[in-house]
Structure 1
Amino acid sequence: MPQNEETASRPKLSLLKLTTLNVYWYGLSFLWNTIHPLVLPTILLNFVPETSKNTYLGLLTFLGLILAMLVQPIAGARSDQFRSRWGRRRPFIAFGTLLDGIVLIGIAYSRSVTGIFVGYIALQISSNIAHGPMQGLIPDQVPDRQKGLASGIKNFMDVFGLITASVLAGKLLTPDNSDPLPIFRVVIGVLLITALITILTTHEESTVSEKNKTKEPFSLKQVFAVDFKTNRAFGNLILSRFIFLLGVYGIQTFAQYYIIDVLAVENALKATGEMMTAIALALVFCALISGWLTDKIGPVKLMNLAMVTTALGGLSLIFVHDMQTLTILAGVIGGGMGFYLTTNWTLAVRMAPPDQAGKFMGLTNIATAGASAVGRLEGPMIDLANGITPGMFYGYKFMFLFCFICSLVSLIVFNVFLAKEKKSPKDCDVVVPQ
């Protein structure tokens, strides 16, 4: 398909403009990389049995992420049709961020598993009200020739949030003091500041004048309705992304418990933060390089490199016996993720129809949140496998092997599609819907 004339003819944006457009991704990343790998596992230990901690963490986050799978594309599609003097996306970003602050305070004062559960579910809803429409900003604002760079900056913000969350949470939370209120105050501040920067520096045309135009009524059925015959490339991309992230997210979720049980590190929270920092630094470097390279040579070769690198990293983790080796291999996986997330996101941005960008980019969350949700179900299997032969921790070995398998299957799925299309990698970047 030829490139869409409207997106191709947009004026080139400055580096500063691309950065402020994406800075709210830092806030969202800081939020969830504080909650999932660090705060939630720590505060749950105050309320759940030691032998069932992986099960409780897995099932809780599974239910929340199922909600995210639904809320994010709905909010994105709703923003496609939203009419206001402030544009389509920014009102949702503002509303969702304000709700986040209220919910986080509620979680901080929870004193039971039920309170944490209710707060976590509410946070998934409020955050994804902002997240879905936010995904429409790059397709809305950025010309085609800069979408690779914009995606690289977006992923840099994601990883920068991961780094700072790992460092700060490790300082503000300790095994002796697991009160989340101090770190949540920081999270709320980061969310508000980054949301304001993106909202105030992003120009969206008023859509009030479009109220009288004929448009289809908003329908939940239409939110999830995609003609995969016409958008076959997009459907394959979602499937490949789901499989790849399914293997990676399990490691991120249960890493702290692995460090406690297998490596017996004294301050597991701090060690987990250091491991996440190693992942993030490698991810930042590779994400920025791949953003530039994607615009030059196309994303397909880089995606293949990413999947192979992550597969080898996951397989090697099976044989780890010390924290230093774990940190090094975590960096290898981080590098693979950096290449993958930028190139995959660039393809998704190029494939999204301009008039349905919020909907289509929201649907990528079926892969992202869906993989994250299903990955949480590894928790009960890890506890079960660990209990078969106490002290051998076969559950964690399975977790690493699963990452290896998922990366290879994702590689196969993606390349089988390319072979069916009978296009060269470079051509594929052009013929997919823009």
Structure 2
Amino acid sequence: MGLLFLANLGLWLGIYAPIQVLLPQQAALLAGTSKEAVFGLVTGVGAAVALVANPMIGVSSDRTTSRFGRRHPWTLAGALVGALGLVVLSSASSVFVMVVGWCLVQAGLNGMLAALTSAVPDRVPVRQRARVGGLVGISQMLGTVLGAVVVTVLVSGVAAGYLACALVVVLGALAFVLLTPDVRLAVRPGFRWRSLWVSPRRHPDFAWAWCAHFMINLGNAFGTLYLLYFLGDVVRHPSPEDGLLVLMLLYGVALAGGAALFGASSDRTGRRKPYVLVAAGVMAFAALVLVVWPTWEAALVAAPLLGLGFGGYWAVALALLTQVLPAASDRAKDLGVLNIANSLPQVVAPLLTSFVLAGLGGYRGLFLVSAVATLCAAGLVVRVRSVA
């Protein structure tokens, strides 16, 4: 579990350090006043690639008979492709090269994500999954916070930031692959392409859980993707990058506490949905704080609230999601379909944000939409019947 934590830490650092800091900075350098549009284009196209990569690599890992194991080859290959994309971004001198580099990052790291996520139902009994989900949530938080620290404090410049992220991604994957065993599949199972579709009629709990996961991630994307621009253009923070680092630290500490607390409590009681509902309520309240009071002081209050809610959600949601999978033999494929609910908001949010900013009163409207999406997720998870 410790090595799984390290691999996930590298993975999330490789995703969130660019999204939170490096891509916005690079978009501003290349596009100036059109930075929001360029940032939305790059992240949107990359997320579209992730939509395909995650389930497809999940399918492949479910059926891999390599002597090196079923999941490990895809973990390492995904890390290397993701690192290559980060190297491409480090020397990008045009928007086109940015798009190509970020597409490689999303393809590689989402393939790595499909393999790593499958390790939870592969290796962890149901009664312990929320605790392990908490560890995964903490790794996501630390990846976000350490990524901000690495690219704003430890290294200087956009290019050096991308190269540092690439190194961390590969080291985390290597540690997990080389130091843990992986089950070798003796016989390759059959596969039909139509099995990528999970019927909501036959598996309604899977469908409701997917929709809830999508909405919670959409709300989080609306609330976090444009924080750097919010700090610079609305709050008028003298150093938006330093301000973002402070917010990420507050967010991260609270996320770790929420993940540990909610995960342990959920495993102890055997219940999942009540904790998801509380987490969604806390996240929605954090967004509403910024609707009412879009200032630096409000951001200092909202960041730890959002972290507490999102950490608690991730800990319990991973357990809940693994309990509604249709078939054990297709875990990675089905988790890949669920992980689309992580990636699709990164496509939808940038496309909708420009309309929200223009038509709903700027960033107040954006944070209001974030709160509404999160509350919708709470309503959807109630419809899951097979999990308490």
Name the TM-score, length of structure 1 as normaliser. 0.85
Q: Distance in 2 between matches of 1:39 and 1:220?
A: 37
Instruction: Give the SS at the match of 1:210.
Output: coil
- What is the total number of aligned residue pairs between the two structures? 386
Aligned to 1:322: 295
1:122-145 CA-to-partner distances (Å, cap 9, x unmatched) read 221122222212211111111222
CA contact 1:172–1:182 (8 Å) conserved in 2: no
Instruction: Give the SS at the match of 1:85.
Output: coil
Q: Distance in 2 between matches of 1:263 and 1:357?
A: 44
Aligned to 2:158: 180
Residue identity matched to 1:325: A
Give me the identity figure in percent: 21
Match of 2:205 among 233, 245, 250: 233
Q: Distance in 1 between matches of 2:220 and 2:334?
A: 23
Residue identity matched to 2:90: A
Match of 1:54 among 36, 42, 46: 36
Question: Are residue 428 (structure 1) and residue 387 (structure 2) matched?
Answer: yes
Aligned to 1:125: 107
Aligned to 1:288: 260
Match of 1:242 among 209, 214, 223: 214
Aligned to 2:313: 340
Residue identity matched to 1:337: F
Q: CA deviation at 1:39?
A: 0.5
Question: Are residue 404 (structure 1) and residue 378 (structure 2) matched?
Answer: no
Q: CA deviation at 1:154?
A: 1.2
Residue identity matched to 1:58: G
Uncovered stretches (5+) of structure 1, i.e. residues with no partner: 1-17, 387-393, 422-426, 430-434
Q: CA deviation at 1:167?
A: 1.7
Aligned to 2:362: 395
CA contact 1:249–1:372 (8 Å) conserved in 2: yes
Residue identity matched to 2:7: Y
CA contact 2:84–2:105 (8 Å) conserved in 1: no
CA contact 2:323–2:387 (8 Å) conserved in 1: no
Q: Distance in 2 between matches of 1:339 and 1:250?
A: 19
Task: List aligned pairs for 1:39-50, cutoff 5 A.
Answer: 39-50=22-33
Match of 2:18 among 25, 28, 35: 35
Aligned to 2:272: 299
Q: CA RMSD in A?
A: 1.8
Aligned to 2:60: 78
Aligned to 2:140: 158
Q: Distance in 1 between matches of 2:357 and 2:127?
A: 48
CA separation of 1:383/1:295 partners in 2, compared to 1, >3 Å: closer, same or farther?
Answer: closer
CA separation of 1:384/1:322 partners in 2, compared to 1, >3 Å: closer, same or farther?
Answer: closer
1:337-386 CA-to-partner distances (Å, cap 9, x unmatched) read 11111111111122223211101111112211112221122332255349
Residue identity matched to 1:291: G
Q: Distance in 1 between matches of 2:37 and 2:356?
A: 8
Q: CA deviation at 1:302?
A: 0.7
Range moving further from structure 2, 83-92 or 274-283: 274-283
Q: CA deviation at 1:227?
A: 2.9
Uncovered stretches (5+) of structure 2, i.e. residues with no partner: none
Match of 1:193 among 160, 168, 171: 171
Question: Are residue 206 (structure 1) and residue 184 (structure 2) matched?
Answer: yes
Match of 1:368 among 333, 339, 342: 342
Range moving further from structure 2, 282-291 or 270-279: 270-279
Question: Are residue 268 (structure 1) and residue 245 (structure 2) matched?
Answer: no
Q: Distance in 2 between matches of 1:330 and 1:368?
A: 20
Instruction: Give the SS at the match of 2:266.
Output: helix
1:231-286 CA-to-partner distances (Å, cap 9, x unmatched) read 21111001011112211112211111111111111211111121122111111110
Aligned to 2:190: 216
